Structure 1
């Protein structure tokens, strides 16, 4: 099973607190998680690992860092469960490719090893990382192909916020550009607080918010919490159009 989280913190800033029950279910019977911290650029990887260790301590799960292993790919192959942290998606993919761990990660996840990732760690579960929000601070040597664990792209931290007077593109406009260039791919815009539960072929949206499905030549579709995204993609579940809904302080200031 996979748990693909848009973000790591709840609105109060508590680390992985909003998904603790889900992770406890995913990791039932697991003693130790192998953590991939490669997305972190500024914070030391040991510090990142310690943060995850503190977050998982209440559910009785320990953490080992793949960066401490002599061979990253073997550490992944030996893992009871795998966690992939957020940060810069390009940096994450570069290190997965250069360490030889990318293929091992795909193999283990497809074999059913519990996997959870947030932000970049969720984006990388798609066919490519081309719908990340991150700046391409490095160039992965083998291109932008990712794990392909789900048949659609993921845009984490999806938001409709657009500050008054800001002249850049909205998130929806950027994803529309992606679809013009990549018309065969779908994109799920995953707002903060939500996650995707992947169990075999079943992909279910969970969390408090509505997500958005983008496909070329079609209106953006609203994905309510609890919907089977795989059935929406297959055309067996009807959808309604998604209306931009700014949230948070800027939305209140604008009277939305």
Structure 2
């Protein structure tokens, strides 16, 4: 099983998905036939989002088809060598994937060798559930269970910083609330610029910042690049 789960899509001073080009190149191999799932995008059209991704990844010579443009989305996923899932609103993404019956076809395609690439909401979708998203529940997705391609929960865009004078909870406090109710879970706080690469079932952390592993009733554990799960 091959996964590339990115915390975010852009970094300061870099173009959209530019920081993802190197890890994506490293995992693509000979795969070139891809589908893009733009359903997390709510304030941009699916066509515009797909074209944005095509332009960002043009140097990789991928053939990227927007899943919304095909007559049989499930067949397109079954035929794809690369399945890309963009960021945006995770609740909207899960709702549309569930309504179109795409979750099981994605699972099966990845198990058969397709590379799953997800950033932000797309990374959340690969987890057992979407309960560690940062997004507002703007729609009811009909349940929070997701693809379960990775046994860990990811919190993308992770930061514990709060603006001066802000009285809301830190990200860690929010994660601790989840772990208090579901203590068997483990959550990776994945900072921007970091990613998790899974190859042949082996997961490795990469990026320029330490991530944090959260377990119930334990201090957060810093994880450096190169840590394997």
Query: TM over 0.5: same fold?
Result: yes
Partner of 1:33: 34
Counterpart Cα distance in 1 of 2:181 and 2:88: 26
Tell me which moved more, 54-63 or 213-222.
54-63
Partners of 1:196 and 1:110 in 2: CA distance: 18
Match of 1:136 in 2: 137
| Cross-structure match for 2:24 | 23
Q: Is the 8 A contact 2:81 2:113 kept in 1?
A: no
SS of equivalent to 1:165: coil
Please state whether the residue corresponding to 1:146 is helix, strand or coil: coil
Question: 2 CA distance for matches of 1:86 and 1:13?
Answer: 17
Kept after mapping to 1: 8 A contact 2:103/2:147? yes
Does 2:193 match 1:224? no
Gaps of at least 5 residues in structure 2 are none
Of the two, which has the highest radius of gyration?
1
Match of 2:63 in 1: 62
8 Å Cα contact 1:56/1:62 also seen in 2: no
TM (norm. structure 1) is: 0.87
Query: 1:205, 1:30 → 2: CA distance?
Result: 22
> Hey, which bits of structure 1, 4+ residues long, moved more than 6 A?
none
Root mean square deviation, CA, Å: 1.0
Partner residue of 2:48? 47
Matches within 5 A, 1:104-253: 104-141=105-142, 143-228=143-228, 230=229
Give the C-alpha shift of residue 13 in structure 1. Answer: 4.4
Q: Provide the C-alpha distance between the structure 1 equivalents of 2:30 and 2:73, rounded to a whole number of angstroms.
A: 23
Relative contact order, higher structure (CA 8 A, sep 6+): 2
Give the length in aligned residue pairs.
Answer: 228
How big is each residue's C-alpha offset from its partner over 1:6-61, in whole Å with a ceiling of 9 and x where there is no partner?
A: 00112114111112111122223223310000100110000000011001111211
Q: SS in structure 2 opposite 1:41?
A: coil
Distance of 1:163 and 1:21 partners within structure 2: 33
Distance in 2 of aligned mates of 1:220 and 1:85: 28
